[in-house]
Structure 1
Amino acid sequence: MSAEPLLADAPWLISGGTARVLSLLNANGEEARVVGGAVRNALLDLPQGDIDIATTALPEEVVRRARSAGIKSVPTGIEHGTITLVIDGAPYEVTTLREDTETFGRKAKVAFGRDWVRDAERRDFTMNGLSVDAQGVVYDYVGGLADAAARRVRFIGDPDRRIAEDYLRILRFFRIHAAFGAGDPDRDGYLACIRGRAGLSGLSAERVRMEMLKLLVAAGASAAALAMADGGLLQSLTGGVVYAGPLSGMIAIERELGLPASSTRRLAALAVAVTEDARRLAARLRLSNVEAKALDSMGHRWWRFATRDEATARRLLYRLGAERYQDRVLLAWARGGGDVTSARWRELAELPQRWTAPKFPLKAADFIARGMAEGPALGRVLTLAEDAWLAADFPLDEGALASIADQAAARASRDQKT
């Protein structure tokens, strides 16, 4: 066991809401520490996310102390000993030390305890098994300090047992490695994931979606996805062929253009070649409506961009809108397998920054003035006129618009007669 004052000067620990929660819980024979990802991130000099706190105090005592201090408490997982304290709008998840009495995935039976070693040993990976007290002393019962220094993601104890407790840990192994690891995945953990891959089929789509989308935006997403594909771990999740090359291309393109990582774009690059792929993925992962529509749009004839000039691209930008347009261009670029520094692809991708589509200037009144009656025919003539306006490259002068309106009205009249 290691216990060293490695974070004694950490501002997030010694002041603000974290310090207040620790002070509240470190009294009258109870002890509290920050645990898990916050400790890992601090040691790796990475930004802090959520701050989780473990305590020897029982949930009822946590609630009592919070109430006496005027701190809001929310029983977010009280059956598992978790209370969320809210300070200045920021949540602090406080969980009583636990020991597993039976382990079967998300429904493991736990008993509250006071043993910091046993609490650490029930966690997933060594670098997540670290804890730090209010003085900045880091406690390591599982070898997490050495693994964090080496950027090595390693299961605590027997990897097969850890995975059997919750098969989502297979995805977490690759996601944590993609975000915090270096080099190849830990071999023992990797082989255990392959041995346990059949257990992935029993996971809920919502849990798989959450881990996959987080994995895809991690720094090492490309290498992690390739390792998963090589181990036969991705195909069952996507329900189809996996395209590791386009994923790598998409990541490189985003970086080349200075774009933020997009989990949806990267998922499309990994597993969408046609719209059927998009719809299957949306069903398998229970994607949100926004995510599903974005994937479906990207999968729709993206390959046509390979031969599109800018005039044609402007028409597509008008139809799709800037966000959908750019996503589809980037998927075509990534799937094309070409140079990520290509000037032509960059010009197509950055068209929304250089050009804003005008609004279609013709209105229903323009056609009523030409003798068209209100009704379905009026809608059809507007569509005909808009198509002609796009084909003419968005003219705005009155003469061109009058000509387009006259021709559309004449064609609609002919269509009505036949």
Structure 2
Amino acid sequence: MSEARLLSDAPWLGSGPAARVLGLLDTGGEEARVIGGAVRNALMRIPLGDIDIATTAVPEEVVRRAKDAGIKSVPTGIEHGTVTLVVDGHPFEVTTLREDTETYGRKAKVKFGRNWVRDAERRDFTINGLSVDAAGVVHDHVGGLADIEARRVRFIGDPAQRIAEDYLRILRFFRFHAAYGAGEIDRAGYLACVSRRAGLAGLSAERIRMEMLKLVVAEGAASAAVAMADGGLLLWLFGGVAYTGPFAAMIEIEKRMGLAPGAVRRLGALTVAVTEDARRITTRLRLSNAEAKALDSMGHRWWRLPGMDEARARRRLYRLGEDAYRDRLLLAWARTGAGRNVDQWHALATLPQRWRPPQFPLKAADFIARGIAEGPALGHVLTLAEDAWLAADFPLEPQALSAIADQTVSRFTRDHRL
């Protein structure tokens, strides 16, 4: 199976850093092509990410040519044939054509080669097995062009074999379907992923986290999550129930609100009903401290938010801050039904756009002047005063503030006299 097509509208092939790397390596009896995701994205007319390059030149020759051309080279994975070249501040991973002779997990023993067909056949999905040369000719040895046209994500060759080579490909299969696929998920690939889901247990939490945070923000994430849940994969990943209904509702709400997809927010909708869920997910995926804090906040008594009036919402916004307020509120909205009480939820969700919480105006000096000594008592009085100020709906008038200070000191003194 081999097909070629001309890639139009790819000026980065003719000039610029990528063209310079291709020119460096596509000469003197060697050949170089752009491979993988950049070719896929260019054909699908979506923004390019990293531009990776494959070459027949062995790593030592790549380094030698880069040095002669005054280009910085970094041996990022030289034992597997990968050297990173940095041109005008842009990094390009350059990998020598290879064949895997043994695979175990994410590692493999390889031998370098010059066969573009075999190099393509060792990759994961057909849409990632394409390459394009400096003249703009797209080379397809695995049926990727047809699958791009059909928006279909398929494993190259035998799905079970591709998965056995690297179990992370199970998650990548669903992520790529969510990002680039359309229609029904490829059945052969799906069944292979489901039957081999136990292999997920051998993946590192960091790799799972990376894939899931990418998956949940993909365009087709809702249907992909349902397919994963139906196949028992999310139970393996999360160690608990996955809430695909609230997850789909969260996606709908974000679109309604004009919000960019939030990876942690969507992960919360998919996995969190109570704070215990958040802690379990944090451990299983080894989330960062910031991600763990955000997830824990979302799950903290979100059920108290439905039906609250704006005065109470202002107090919540003041206490939580804009990001935590929004995410907890949207979780409550998603879990109670995205299509219910839409106007009320929308008003609460847009509160940060209409009202900015003022700073608490009373200071320690206000209470020292009223006889409260510095130390723990002063901190306690300030907390009581802030609570009273919130309950009074954030007054800023001097007379109202003075009354709050006097009443707080009087209450504190009375309570501690007892």
1:145-170 C-alpha deviation (Å, 9 max, x unpaired): 11111111000111111111111100
The two structures, once aligned, show a CA RMSD in angstroms of 1.1
1:345 alignment partner in structure 2: 345
Q: Superposed, which structure 2 residues align to 1:293-312 within 5 Å?
A: 293-312=293-312
1:281-312 C-alpha deviation (Å, 9 max, x unpaired): 00100001110000000000111111211100
Residue type of the partner of 2:52? D
SS in 1 for 2:100: strand
SS in 2 for 1:394: coil
1:56 alignment partner in structure 2: 56
Q: Superposed, which structure 2 residues align to 1:138-287 within 5 Å?
A: 138-287=138-287
Residue type of the partner of 1:6? L
Q: Percent identity?
A: 73
1:328-387 C-alpha deviation (Å, 9 max, x unpaired): 111111111131781111111111111000000000100010011111000000000000
1:234-279 C-alpha deviation (Å, 9 max, x unpaired): 0121111111011111101111111111110000000000000001
Contact 1:194 1:232 in 2 (8 A): yes
**Are 2:25 and 1:25 aligned?**
yes
SS in 1 for 2:94: strand
Residue type of the partner of 1:40? R
Q: Superposed, which structure 2 residues align to 1:111-150 within 5 Å?
A: 111-150=111-150
Contact 2:81 2:112 in 1 (8 A): yes
SS in 1 for 2:277: helix
Contact 1:8 1:135 in 2 (8 A): no
Contact 2:130 2:139 in 1 (8 A): yes
Residue type of the partner of 2:344? R
CA distance in 1, matches of 2:107, 2:7: 34
1:214-244 C-alpha deviation (Å, 9 max, x unpaired): 0001000000000000111101211111110
Question: How many residue pairs align between the two structures?
Answer: 418
CA distance in 2, matches of 1:9, 1:155: 28
- Measure how far apart 1:3 and its partner are: 4.0
Q: Aligned in 2, Cα 1:373/1:24: closer, same or farther, shift over 3 Å?
A: same
In the superposition, the TM-score normalised over structure 2's length comes to 0.98
1:2 alignment partner in structure 2: 2
SS in 1 for 2:6: coil
In the superposition, the TM-score normalised over structure 1's length comes to 0.98
CA distance in 1, matches of 2:55, 2:183: 35
CA distance in 2, matches of 1:259, 1:320: 19
Residue type of the partner of 2:100? D
CA distance in 2, matches of 1:353, 1:43: 40
1:356 alignment partner in structure 2: 356
CA distance in 2, matches of 1:258, 1:57: 48
CA distance in 2, matches of 1:340, 1:353: 22
1:118-172 C-alpha deviation (Å, 9 max, x unpaired): 1001000011111110001111111111111111100011111111111110000
Contact 1:9 1:136 in 2 (8 A): no
Q: Aligned in 2, Cα 1:43/1:71: closer, same or farther, shift over 3 Å?
A: same
Contact 1:249 1:340 in 2 (8 A): no
CA distance in 2, matches of 1:63, 1:341: 63
- Measure how far apart 1:98 and its partner are: 0.9
CA distance in 1, matches of 2:341, 2:374: 52
SS in 2 for 1:93: strand
SS in 2 for 1:306: coil
**Are 2:381 and 1:381 aligned?**
yes
1:94 alignment partner in structure 2: 94
Contact 1:253 1:340 in 2 (8 A): no
Residue type of the partner of 2:213? L
CA distance in 2, matches of 1:239, 1:13: 46
1:406 alignment partner in structure 2: 406
Residue type of the partner of 2:232? G
SS in 1 for 2:74: strand
Structure 1 gap segments, 5+ residues each: none
CA distance in 2, matches of 1:403, 1:70: 73
Larger mean CA deviation between 336-345 and 16-25 belongs to 336-345
Residue type of the partner of 1:191? L
Residue type of the partner of 2:253? I
| Runs of 4+ residues deviating >6 angstroms | none
1:29-81 C-alpha deviation (Å, 9 max, x unpaired): 11000011111111111111111100011111111111111111111111111
